[in-house]
Amino acid sequence: MASGIFAILDDIAMLMDDTAAMGKIAAKKTAGLLGDDLAVNAEKATGFHASRELPVLWEITKGSILNKIIILPLAFLLSYFATWLLVPILLIGGAYLSYEGAEKIYEWLMHLKTTTHQTRHTEESVSTDFLENESVKIKAAIRTDFILSIEIILIALETVIEQPLTTQILIVSLIALIATVAVYGLVALMVRMDDLGFRLQEKSLETSGFTSKIMTIVGQALVTSLPRLIRLLMIIGTIAMLLVGGGMFVHNIEYVHHLMETWPSLVSEFVAGLIVGTVIVLIKNLKKKPDHNT
């Protein structure tokens, strides 16, 4: 009886050792994508009213958790019954991310975002528009998270595809958990930087001397750097979407890979993402033209 228990414990220990070893490999392979995930989701989760930042972020986080719950079992089923579908799914996700990145650039270049007409609305209308805009942004953020989650989970799964199913489930689920907790935890810290800065400034009034000066300087730096950080995240997030999207084509289509194999990886991924995204944006805009004429 005792020997049976020790045998079970030994099997568990071996499983955990294998999981830890493969987990490190999977984490390394998805680390770059997790960094891009952070940049994209930080850009998507910022730009809301200060009082709504954390509630909105929580809604997006819940959506992200639901995304993982949906994707994980489907990914394991696909890896077992229809491995051939994994690459097409990656390419579809890559096309969507490329489109999102290219659309951002298109909007910036064409100056499509204006707020002039909003200032003429009544307060009630502005409030309604604000809530509707918030809802649209939350849905867009969850949708983008869904695509990024697919990419992260499938890449992690590809790393451990030769391992037993139990090891696959443990490692890929762990990577998925990290992708949600770490990313949105860091985003939450970012969006509350100004609150921390104000608190430090308030605390500095209760102290004196060198400590008070340091707290004032740090607090002011946090408050003033948040708008700049948000603008930077918008740029980094857009670039990240093009890199991740283009990377799916560079690494999964042999012709594209050979065509750009002498290019630096970041350049090839960005160019591929920009080309794919621009084509989709152009097709979308061409389809809209008949509607404007009618």
Mean pLDDT of the chain: 76
97 close to 250: Cβ distance less than 8 angstroms: no
d(CA 133, CA 137): 6
Instruction: Give the pLDDT confidence score for residue 142 in this predicted structure.
Output: 87
Nearest-10 crossing angle of helices 53-81, 86-110: 150
* Residue 48: DSSP 8-state: S
- For residue 50, the one-letter residue type is A
At 100, list the tokens: 């999102």
Q: Quick one: residue 256, left, alpha or beta (phi over 0 = left, psi -120 to 50 = alpha)?
A: alpha
- For residue 253, the one-letter residue type is I
Q: Is the pLDDT of residue 11 over 90?
A: no
Distance between alpha carbon 70 and the CA centroid of its chain, in Å?
17
Q: Is the pLDDT of residue 40 over 90?
A: no
**Average pLDDT rounded to a whole number, residues 102-107:** 88
Question: What distances in angstroms separate CA 120 from CA 47, 76, 111, 126, one per listed residue?
Answer: 21, 52, 20, 9
Q: pLDDT tens across 242-273, in order?
A: 888 898 899 889 999 899 988 998 899 999 99
Predicted structure pTM score? 0.70
Min mean pLDDT across 6-15, 197-206, 239-248, 253-262 is at 6-15
Q: Is the pLDDT of residue 229 over 90?
A: no
Q: pLDDT tens across 132-169, in order?
A: 677 888 888 888 888 888 888 887 887 777 777 787 88
Q: Is the pLDDT of residue 114 over 60?
A: no
For 206, list phi and psi in degrees, rounded to 5.
-90, -10
pLDDT > 70 in the chain, percent: 73
